[in-house]
Chains A and B, each alone.
Chain A
Amino acid sequence: MPSVNLPNLIPALPELFLVCAAMALLMLGVFQKSGAKGDDVKSSRLISLLGIVTLVLTLLLVLTIAQTGTADTFAGMFVTDAFAVYFKVFVLIASAVSLVISQDYLERQEIARFEFSILVLLSTLGMMMMLSANNLISLYVGLELQSLPLYVLAAFQRHDLRSTEAGLKYFVLGALASGMLLYGSSLVYGFAGTTDFAALASTLTGPEGEMPSIGLVIGIVFILVGLAFKVSAVPFHMWTPDVYEGAPTPVTAFFSVAPKLAAIGLFIRVMIGPFGELVGQWQQIVIFVSIASMALGGFVAINQTNIKRMMAYSSISHVGYALIGLAVGNEVGIQGVLIYMAIYIFMNLGVFACILCMRRSDTMVENIQDLAGLSKTHPMVALALAIFMFSMAGIPPMAGFFGKLYIFLAAIESELYTLAVIGVLTSVVAAFYYLRIIKVMYFDEPVDALHKPVRREIGLVLLGTSAVILLFFLAPGPLLDSAQAAAASLFAG
């Protein structure tokens, strides 16, 4: 009997499970009764519920596999280490929570279709592939698998002009970014002769003081540009405000957490893994991108009237802070990024859960002024949103302060004083527009009250995320330890 060389499937088990489950759910959705009014809603509810269950099971699988330690498979194309596990856990949480808060909105906007959940699942699968990528080819495959469902999701509200515009814009610019990345990868392959991360790392470890070939540097710059597009860092951020504003709100919520997290994870892995030796070549680019993102995100957000657009600029500035940690380029810096991003997704999910509460007689409202007097009409939602806003501004004792603290710890330790000073000063600018939201909610009088009852699942998400943000200071230990382990695993290889 000819022996088949089957690769070790254990490290990729969560992904395999997720892909099978997504296909099965797709089949299930297709064969649901349809046609009559309400059938779509029914099937979408079922698939959404099963989708959440799938994500939770995948999360458990990820945690189980993590016990076995670092392992790679598929001829070294795919790796499971503490770093990948850390990001996957938060990506899965973010995706699951996004699904939880989406359903109600989709039903109200009459776009509840079961494909929504399937697309989220498939995109999440792509993110997990990205995070485990150990080769420029598997990186690209993962990235595209993540991006394609996102383009569709952005345009999910088919009859809405803004949503379709957002989808198209996202697609064109995303494709451009992917193209740049691919071009950079091919240059790197041409000059280094390999696409494997480990092999690249050892090839690039030349003798001290020797300059890497110029073609290789150009390749790295192209890869950097492509990744900067995906994390929406300045000057490749232009798509973000339009897409965030145009896409349906739950999709925006999803965009602002899971793909961002995955893209940051990928960014770190590519820069530290194969190109870690060339830190001198790319550090200044990352520093520039970081400063530009913090400054632009901070100043432009001041003038926004639409809260989703404001959150887009806020996310740009948050990426700027995260990139400080990457610019530092050592274990402490990466640990800072990991902590920062974990806290960031909880804040963002919470804020978007609040935005999803902004409804007035069945139409969604998105202007900041619509929040006027929220503290009187919805005291609990206002309190939660105030907690998130103080946290985003980095005011202790909220969790957001600790995120910034660890980032700046890393920057100061590596003596990047200018970067740190610019970072804290732009955080004061950013504090202004976060405070403005609090001002509108607490200092202004209500004009036209928002719709009263808050959906139970959204209420639960608000409770959970605000508790995490508010009480993080009580027990920061577990997150710090796992971030440390994750950062260490990246530098071990």
Chain B
Amino acid sequence: MTEFPILSLIIFLPLIGAALVLSVRGEEAIVARNARSVALWTSLITFALSLFLWIGFDNTTAAFQFEERGDWMPAYNISYHLGVDGISMLFVLLSTLLTPICILSSWEAIKVRVKEYMVAFLLMETMMVGMFCALDIVLFYIFFEGVLIPMFLIIGVWGGPRRVYAAFKFFLFTLIGSVLMLLAIIAMYFMAGTADIPELMAFGFPASTQTWLWLAFLASFAVKLPMWPVHTWLPDAHVEAPTAGSVILAGVLLKFGAYGFLRFSLPMFPDATAEFAPLIFALSIIAVIYTSLVALAQEDMKKLIAYSSVAHMGFVTVGAFSLTVQGIEGAIFQSLSHGVVSGALFLVVGVVYDRIHSREIAVYEGLIHRMPAYGLTFMIFMLASIGLPGTAGFIGEVLVLVGIFQVNTWVAALTATGLVLGATYMLYLYRRVIFGKLTKENLMKIMDLSPREIAVFAPLILLVFFMGIYPVPFLDVMHASVDNLINNFELARAASDGVALAGR
């Protein structure tokens, strides 16, 4: 362990920031101001540090990098083991990027209990980054579950009118999936005699137990992702959460499920994955078509975007379970771009919500006349969400479709309808909110984007175009790891087929 522990630093720096924020005392206005700046600076420094991960990242290897290992519970062979590979590294960056943006976006929107709010966000950043870096399965679970605490408080304390219901639904849905996963984790731990993720990947679980373990993991990841039919917590949580809470929820928390599938289900249970892939395809297609139609009927902007998230995550699962290089890379890319785009769309809704305090689509009309910059921003993210070529959304969706087309053309065709439906509900939303005549009294004096809001959106717009026009740096990072994942998967499948043949 001579290397600099950069991952630990990235994980625990927000925690130190949170402690600093907690220690701020004095008058309320001053406390709020100091808490905001401490939180912003902490998260900005964390983001800058996480950029070193990308700079120092070796694209040629599938091995875990920046590894750290320390004794934790030696009697149980459970250790503090961290590391990133091509699959997790970009997710770490996504988390560290969205946190400062969230803090900046809630600069004026949050007026009560600012201190606690900032502490909750920094705590969440620690948990999110830790989750993506953990290479010990117990450690992973702790971070995975720990996220519930700050998110529960964020929805419940700073949320909308039905916040209590939404917070409980979010918490209990996620918990019930997670505890089943915990049992599977314990069972794996006893079978393999280790909690180390790389060792578990190499272990090769017997085919008979894979089914049960895979289903237990599905219970957790399907809720988190969310997949149809356990997605119902998501619209509630999104609608009631404050804007920044929605951004983190859509941007990072949903990716936990995608990451979980790629980190655990695929490499550790290849037989069960192959067996259940049709189930996943079916659920994903339902998610894509059904939730797109539901989105079309929404009256609430946030709810519409929430349903569109479920549809987009359907693409991710289709890509991941296509088990082709393009499909998996597309799934990761789609996760990242969805993190940026849907996060940005929630921020876009947040802008008008801060001014008018309503998310009803019918309340708005003809905003382009008063807010041209806003209209442009909205349009960019709306088109990125549809998957227009040149934006981030396009690359992910195309890769997923290329991947799945090699496996099953019907699944590909049905999934592709999501693109059309996505364009329908997004353009319909945009037309109703932005275009038309500006006749409503309360919209006459609405102000365009403030410099702070421009600062929030500018990096996201740049990223959307960067990812859409030149995606190579992103794909290069994940390529070696994805290749390795697929090779191992095929080896394991071939081995178990061999066993099955020999058994005949």
Contact = CB atoms under 8 A, between A and B. Distances in A.
B142 A390 contact: no
B145 A395 contact: yes
Interface string B135-147: 0001001110110
B175 interface: yes
A405 B152 CA distance: 22
A397 B145 CA distance: 8
B407 to A, nearest CB: 34
B183 A431 contact: no
Interface residues of B, number: 34
B289 to A, nearest CB: 31
Contacts of B116: 375
Given A412-B183, A420-B183, A439-B168, A484 B75 contact: yes
B190 A413 contact: yes
A395 B148 contact: yes
B179 A395 contact: no
Contact of A396 (B141, B157, B171): B141
Contacts of B171: 431, 435
Contact of A425 (B72, B75, B156, B179): B179
Given A428-B175, A476-B73, A421 B183 contact: yes
Interface string A412-436: 1100010011001101100110010
B127 to A, nearest CB: 9
B146 A397 contact: yes
A381 to B, nearest CB: 15
Contact of A439 (B76, B149, B164): B164
A481 to B, nearest CB: 7
B413 interface: no
Contact of B153 (A420, A427, A442): A442
B388 interface: no
Contacts of B142: 396-397, 401, 473
A458 to B, nearest CB: 21
Contacts of A395: 145-146, 148-149, 175
A443 interface: yes
A304 to B, nearest CB: 17
Given A421-B180, A442-B153, A442-B157, A412 B190 contact: yes
B167 A428 contact: no
A432 B172 contact: yes
A260 to B, nearest CB: 25
A443 B175 contact: no
A254 B415 CA distance: 61
B402 to A, nearest CB: 39
B182 interface: yes
Given A395-B148, A443-B163, A424 B75 contact: no
B187 interface: yes
B207 interface: no
A209 interface: no
A192 interface: no
Contacts of A442: 153, 156-157
B149 A412 contact: no
B176 interface: yes
B444 interface: no
A408 B178 CA distance: 14
B179 A424 contact: yes
B156 A439 contact: yes
Contacts of A397: 142, 146
A424 B183 contact: yes
A477 interface: yes
B157 A443 contact: yes
A408 B152 contact: no
Tell me whether chain A's interface is mostly helix, strand or loop, or mixed. Answer: helix
Nearest to A406: B76
Contacts of A428: 172, 175-176, 179
A401 B153 CA distance: 19
Contact of A412 (B146, B156, B186): B186
Contacts of A375: 116
Contacts of A396: 141-143, 145-146
Contacts of B167: 439, 443
Contacts of B164: 439, 443
A198 interface: no
A384 to B, nearest CB: 14
Contacts of A435: 152, 168, 171-172
A480 interface: yes
Contact of B145 (A401, A412, A417, A481): A401
A409 interface: yes
A408 B182 contact: yes
A425 B176 contact: yes
Interface string B445-474: 000000000000000000000000000000
Interface string A326-345: 00000000000000000000
A187 to B, nearest CB: 39
Interface in B141-200: 141-143, 145-146, 148-149, 152-153, 156-157, 163-164, 167-168, 171-172, 175-176, 179-180, 182-183, 186-187, 189-190
Contacts of B186: 405, 408-409, 412, 420
A75 to B, nearest CB: 36
A96 B106 CA distance: 47
Interface string B119-137: 0000000000000000000
Nearest to A481: B75
B394 to A, nearest CB: 39
B151 to A, nearest CB: 12
Nearest to B130: A397
Of A396, A401, A438, A442, the most chain B CB neighbours within 10 A belong to A396
Contacts of A408: 182-183, 186
B180 to A, nearest CB: 7
24 contacts: A375-B116, A390-B149, A395-B146, A395-B149, A397-B142, A397-B146, A408-B182, A412-B186, A412-B190, A413-B190, A420-B186, A421-B183, A424-B183, A428-B172, A428-B175, A428-B179, A432-B168, A435-B168, A439-B156, A443-B167, A476-B72, A477-B74, A480-B75, A481-B75
Interface of A: 375, 390, 395-397, 401, 405, 408-409, 412-413, 417, 420-421, 424-425, 427-428, 431-432, 435, 438-439, 442-443, 473, 476-477, 480-481, 484
Given A431-B171, A435-B152, 10 more contacts: A395-B148, A396-B143, A401-B142, A412-B190, A421-B180, A439-B164, A443-B157, A477-B73, A480-B73, A481-B75
Interface of B: 72-76, 116, 138, 141-143, 145-146, 148-149, 152-153, 156-157, 163-164, 167-168, 171-172, 175-176, 179-180, 182-183, 186-187, 189-190
